């Protein structure tokens, strides 16, 4: 049997911030990331907020039973919509900073003190909806 000489990556690669940024942009931001199984989000409003490859994400089961993933970042001033972890949101996601409200499909549905201009914004989608079970 032929012996294979395994080599590991140089240690500096594991600590190289520039390389990590490149990996985030070139690999993780361009492909699907497994963050949960659909069975973990069975009811409307159940969500999982995670940070994956440095990206704050929120995955939620919507009213039409579709699962969608978004950046867990408010359009106003980048406040979080949920803390990391699992939970069930009754109603809408409400930004923790100034109270802008988002539906489970990513639409901004309430921009407190900003009128109709902000109503056209959406939280940024990070992928297409995942079909429901």
Summarize as ranges the residues that interact with ligand FES (CB under 6 A). Answer: 74, 76-77, 79, 95, 97-100
Neighbours of 49 (CB within 10 A): 20
Minimum CB distance to ligand FES smaller for 67 or for 94: 94
- Closest contact distance (angstroms) between CB of 12 and ligand FES is 38
Task: Give the three-class secondary structure for 17.
Answer: helix
Q: How far is the CB of 53 from ligand FES (least distance, A)?
A: 23
**Number of neighbouring beta carbons within 10 Å of residue 46:** 18
The nearer residue to ligand FES, 14 or 97, going by C-beta atoms, is 97
CA quadruple 120, 126, 48, 18: dihedral positive or negative? negative
Shortest distance, position 70 Cβ to ligand FES, whole Å = 13
Cβ 98 to ligand FES, closest distance in Å? 3
Query: Of 50 and 118, which has the nearer Cβ to ligand FES?
Result: 118
Report the residue number, 10 or 115, with the smaller CB distance to ligand FES. Answer: 115
Residues 105, 115: Cα–Cα separation, whole Å: 21
Residue partners of 41: CB distance under 8 A and separation at least 6: 47, 48, 59, 60, 61, 67
């Amino acid at each position: 049997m032929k012996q294979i000489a395994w080599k590991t990556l140089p240690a500096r690669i594991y600590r190289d911030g520039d390389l990590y940024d490149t990996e985030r942009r070139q690999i993780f931001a361009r492909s699907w990331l497994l963050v949960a199984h659909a069975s973990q989000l069975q009811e409307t409003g159940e969500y999982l907020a995670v940070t994956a490859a440095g990206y704050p994400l929120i995955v939620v089961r919507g009213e039409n039973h579709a699962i969608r993933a978004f950046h867990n970042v408010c359009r106003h001033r980048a406040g979080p919509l949920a803390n990391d972890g699992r939970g069930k949101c009754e109603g809408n996601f409400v930004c923790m900073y100034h109270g802008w409200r988002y539906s489970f499909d990513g639409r901004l549905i309430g921009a407190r003190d900003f009128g109709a201009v902000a109503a056209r914004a959406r939280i940024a989608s990070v992928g297409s909806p995942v079909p429901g079970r």
